[in-house]
Structure 1
Amino acid sequence: MTATKVLRSLLHELRLASQSPGKIKDSLAARYILAQYKKYETTDQQLCKARDEAIFLGQTYLTYLSSLRKYNELYKEYHGSGERTVKETADLVGFKLPTDPK
């Protein structure tokens, strides 16, 4: 992944995690990430080990943010709020209950 793609993905994940969507410019985290990317910006003539480390760190944070978001979605969906009925449990795991002919 290139540095630009990692940066865009990080800002996208921050936007999803933000309580006020669409307003990440004022976010301290977004300003810090942008400052770090500007700090390690290099030209084609330079070979910079720190830039590769910065991309790796950005990918690590990106993985953390996306995993945390997915975990919270799964937790909300499957976390029990007390006892479930047999039908709710069957629907949760994808089974259908047999019907009694009367």
Structure 2
Amino acid sequence: MSGKRVLRSLLHELREAASNPDAIKNSLAARYILAQYKKFETTDQQLCKARNEAVFLGQTYLSYLSSQRKYNAIYKEYHSRGERSVKETADLVGFKLPTDPK
């Protein structure tokens, strides 16, 4: 994954995690990430090990943010909300209840 693609994905994940997606421009996390990408920006004539490290670090943060978002979605769906009906439980695990013959 290229550096620009990782940056766009990181900002997308920050927008997904934010309660107000429009406020991402003023968030400290977004400003820090942009500052780090500008700090490790290189030209075609330079060969810099730090650039690869920055992309790797960006991919690591991206993996963390997307995993955290998926975890929260799964937790919200499956966490105990008290008693469930037999039909809700069957739907939750992917079973169908038998139908009564008429």
Bin for the TM-score computed over the shorter chain: over 0.9
Bigger proportion of residues as helix: 2
Structure 1: runs of 5 or more not aligned: none
Which secondary structure state, in structure 2, belongs to the residue aligned with residue 58 of structure 1? helix
Partner of residue 36, structure 2: 36
Partner of residue 25, structure 1: 25
Structure 2: runs of 5 or more not aligned: none
Displacement, 1:100?
A: 2.6
Partner of residue 6, structure 2: 6
Which secondary structure state, in structure 1, belongs to the residue aligned with residue 87 of structure 2? helix
Which secondary structure state, in structure 2, belongs to the residue aligned with residue 11 of structure 1? helix
Displacement, 1:19?
A: 1.3
Deviates further, 9-18 or 89-98: 89-98
Cα separation, 1, equivalents of 2:5 and 2:16:
16
Cα separation, 2, equivalents of 1:19 and 1:90:
33
Partner of residue 90, structure 2: 90
Which runs of structure 1 show a deviation greater than 6 angstroms over 4 or more consecutive aligned residues?
Answer: none
Q: Which AA in structure 2 matches 1:12? A: H
Percent of paired sites with the same residue: 79
Partner of residue 58, structure 1: 58
Cα separation, 2, equivalents of 1:11 and 1:79:
28
State TM-score, norm by structure 1: 0.95
Q: Which AA in structure 1 matches 2:101? A: P
Cα RMSD of the aligned pairs, angstroms, is 1.0
Cα separation, 2, equivalents of 1:87 and 1:80:
16
Displacement, 1:79?
A: 1.1
Kindly tell me the number of residue pairs found equivalent between the two proteins.
Answer: 102
State TM-score, norm by structure 2: 0.95
